[in-house]
């Protein structure tokens, strides 16, 4: 059996880092972890190839080779996935599809031969059993959640690692919280399930042995869902693993209560974590109550962020406008919060309602749903009828992005962050791509860029006042270039 794994293309989005990746000659942020894990679940005797359309083209030769194509993706990849399925059908290649996009919207994909939904570790085995007897059904679904301690190591051998900026690893699935707009619990449940520390070390070793010494993204939706497990098992193992490595940097996602645990933050930094994404959402307490983001209530969120930064972790933040309790004042409040907190990478989006969420079900009952959501966090669209005038909402949203990603505000925010940030003692080794990015930043940002005045002010300010943070400052300047390009394309 010749199996072709196809990963749909991401549009130019906030998290694609498309414009930043050009500085280091990379084509995509990371390879498709889900498809690589599925590849490891399938029989070892099958012939397997991966085509990630974010780094290369799907050719007619690829399709002629394949007996079947396995496709996975997220909502934002819907358009590309649809086009790929049509090409496969035209080439008479059977299509097997799964992952978040197809699990949430399976009824939209009538051309798919076999929909293998939910968690593949549970639904793939019965599909394979039926396929072997030539009686495979159209749809395989389950309400059961997988024992991920039995999940195999992703088949990294299928990947051209030179094309990517980072690799992904998953330690846990599920989230103990129940935010109204979030579909994580719909897909993976409330029960927090983890792999063993031994599994993670094995996965890291497999990456390292293949020559990967760069960034590793722990893709967990909430990495700190089980703090006890982290402190007693995983983090000690990671700290030990890092001792004879080159300072491989990790980054992940966490909830704001990370700020409450100094010991946990220190252990994460010692283990190699450098960045955490945190869903801040809004400084409006009423809106936090509305979306059941109880963990963020009754806190000084700005000080929480600064506490995490001082521990040695850069905070990236997610923000939302368009809640029922948002007044027109929310736009300036979001701007003020982002600037004061020093969250350089601030993803601000309009509220959207993913299928399967409590928000989706509530708005469906209220007859307030529009078309399917785009899946793009910052394209300025929403699939709900908002209580605030849509014109006011869009104009206010536009003002947020125009402000926080203008060179003046963005570079000032970088300096706010660098003043608070306590860099770890362990630094990753300097590589050729970093030197390349540095010189490209001088030309693109410092010579021909609109932000050249702010770039050089940051350049010398950091060089003389915080020289250890100079590489990070240049990296953040490059990020700002990407964010401005993305905002200009979608909203401004």
The neighbour count for residue 144, using CB atoms within 10 Å, is 12
Q: Round the average pLDDT of the chain to a whole number and report it.
A: 96
Q: Decide if pLDDT at 427 tops 70.
A: no
For 465, the enclosing helix (H) or strand (E) is helix 452-465
Q: Are 63 and 91 in contact (CB under 8 A)?
A: yes
For residues 84 and 59, what is the distance between their CA atoms, to the nearest angstrom? 11
Strand partners, 480: none
- Residue 198 is predicted with a pLDDT of 98
**Region of residue 247 (left: phi > 0; alpha: psi -120 to 50; beta: else):** left
In Å, how far are 28, 153, 183, 418, 463 from 474, measured between CA atoms? 20, 35, 35, 12, 10
- Residue 492 is predicted with a pLDDT of 59
- Residue 458 is predicted with a pLDDT of 98
Give, in degrees to the nearest 5, the angle at Cα 173 between 324 and 284. 20
This prediction has a pTM of 0.96
**Region of residue 430 (left: phi > 0; alpha: psi -120 to 50; beta: else):** beta
- Residue 426 is predicted with a pLDDT of 64
* Alpha helices (H) along 190-231: 197-209, 227-229
Q: Are 316 and 275 in contact (CB under 8 A)?
A: yes
For residues 413 and 331, what is the distance between their CA atoms, to the nearest angstrom? 17
For residues 485 and 492, what is the distance between their CA atoms, to the nearest angstrom? 10
The DSSP letter of residue 428 is P
- Residue 490 is predicted with a pLDDT of 72
- pLDDT 10s digits, 244-288: 887 899 999 999 999 999 999 999 999 999 999 999 999 999 999
- Residue 247 is predicted with a pLDDT of 83
Q: Decide if pLDDT at 387 tops 70.
A: yes
Q: Decide if pLDDT at 348 tops 90.
A: yes
Instruction: Tell me the CA end-to-end span of the chain in Å, nearest whole number.
Output: 49
Rounded mean pLDDT, 160-177: 96
The neighbour count for residue 143, using CB atoms within 10 Å, is 7
**C-alpha torsion 222→227→233→237, nearest 10:** 60
Q: Are 7 and 51 in contact (CB under 8 A)?
A: yes
Considering only CA atoms, which of 2, 77, 63 is closest in space to residue 34? Answer: 77
Rounded mean pLDDT, 231-252: 94
The beta-strand segments (E) located in 149-293 are 166-169, 172-173, 193-194, 215-218, 250-254, 273-281
- Residue 365 is predicted with a pLDDT of 97
**Region of residue 281 (left: phi > 0; alpha: psi -120 to 50; beta: else):** left
Rounded mean pLDDT, 124-140: 98
For residues 310 and 322, what is the distance between their CA atoms, to the nearest angstrom? 31
**C-alpha torsion 193→198→204→210, nearest 10:** -130
For residues 30 and 169, what is the distance between their CA atoms, to the nearest angstrom? 11
pLDDT > 90: what percent of the chain?
92
The beta-strand segments (E) located in 151-270 are 166-169, 172-173, 193-194, 215-218, 250-254
In Å, how far are 168, 170, 268, 305, 470 from 184, measured between CA atoms? 18, 14, 23, 23, 37
- Residue 429 is predicted with a pLDDT of 65
- pLDDT 10s digits, 88-113: 999 999 999 999 999 999 999 999 99
In Å, how far are 49, 343, 369, 424 from 364, measured between CA atoms? 41, 34, 6, 48
Q: Report the Cα 176 to chain-centroid distance in Å.
A: 19
For residues 102 and 85, what is the distance between their CA atoms, to the nearest angstrom? 12
Residue 290 structure tokens:
């509305």
Show Cβ contacts of residue 485 under 8 Å, excluding neighbours closer than 6 positions: 12, 18, 19
What is the C-alpha R_g of the chain?
22
Pairing type for strands 346-350 and 68-72 reads: unpaired
The DSSP letter of residue 67 is S
Rounded mean pLDDT, 192-206: 97
């Amino acid at each position: 059996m010749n199996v072709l794994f196809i990963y749909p293309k991401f549009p130019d989005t906030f998290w694609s880092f498309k414009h930043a990746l050009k500085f280091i000659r990379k084509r995509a942020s990371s390879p498709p972890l889900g498809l690589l894990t599925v590849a490891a679940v399938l029989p070892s005797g099958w012939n397997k190839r991966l085509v990630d359309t974010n780094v290369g083209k799907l050719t007619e030769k690829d399709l002629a080779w394949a007996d079947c194509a396995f496709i996975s993706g997220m909502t934002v990849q819907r358009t590309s996935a649809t086009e790929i399925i049509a090409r496969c059908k035209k080439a008479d290649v059977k299509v097997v599809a799964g992952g978040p996009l197809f699990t949430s919207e399976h009824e939209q994909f009538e051309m798919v031969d076999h929909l293998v939904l939910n968690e593949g570790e549970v639904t793939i085995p019965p599909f394979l059993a039926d396929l072997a007897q030539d009686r495979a059904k159209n749809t395989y679904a389950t309400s059961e959640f997988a024992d991920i301690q039995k999940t195999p190591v992703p088949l990294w051998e299928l990947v051209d690692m030179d094309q990517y900026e980072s690799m992904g690893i998953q330690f846990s699935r599920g989230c103990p919280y129940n935010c109204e707009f979030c579909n994580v619990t719909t897909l993976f449940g409330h029960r927090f399930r983890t792999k063993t520390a031994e599994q993670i070390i094995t996965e890291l070793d497999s990456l390292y042995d293949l020559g990967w010494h760069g960034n590793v993204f722990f893709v967990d939706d909430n990495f700190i869902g089980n703090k006890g497990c982290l402190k007693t098992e995983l983090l000690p193992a990671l700290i030990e693993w890092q001792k004879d490595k080159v300072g491989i940097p990790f980054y992940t996602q966490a909830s704001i209560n990370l700020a409450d645990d100094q010991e946990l933050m220190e252990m994460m930094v010692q283990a190699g974590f450098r960045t955490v994404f945190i869903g801040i959402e809004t400084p409006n307490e009423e809106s936090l109550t509305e979306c059941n983001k109880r963990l963020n209530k009754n806190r000084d969120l700005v000080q929480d962020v600064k506490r995490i930064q001082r521990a040695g972790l850069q905070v990236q933040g997610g923000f939302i406008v368009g809640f029922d309790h948002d007044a027109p004042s929310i736009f300036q409040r979001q701007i003020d919060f982002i600037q004061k907190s020093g969250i350089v990478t601030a993803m601000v989006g309009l509220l959207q309602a993913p299928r399967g969420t409590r928000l989706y079900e509530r708005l469906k009952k209220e007859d307030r749903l529009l078309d399917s959501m785009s899946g793009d966090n910052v394209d300025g669209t929403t699939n709900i009828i908002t209580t605030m005038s849509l014109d006011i909402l869009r104009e206010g949203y536009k003002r947020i992005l125009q402000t926080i990603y203008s060179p003046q505000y963005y570079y000032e925010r970088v300096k706010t962050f660098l003043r608070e940030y306590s860099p770890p003692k362990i630094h990753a080794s300097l590589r050729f791509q970093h030197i390349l990015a540095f010189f490209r930043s001088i030309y693109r940002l410092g010579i021909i860029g609109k932000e050249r005045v702010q770039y050089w002010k940051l350049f010398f300010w950091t060089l003389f006042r915080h020289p250890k943070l100079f590489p990070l400052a240049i990296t953040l300047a490059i990020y700002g270039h990407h964010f401005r390009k993305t905002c200009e394309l979608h909203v401004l």
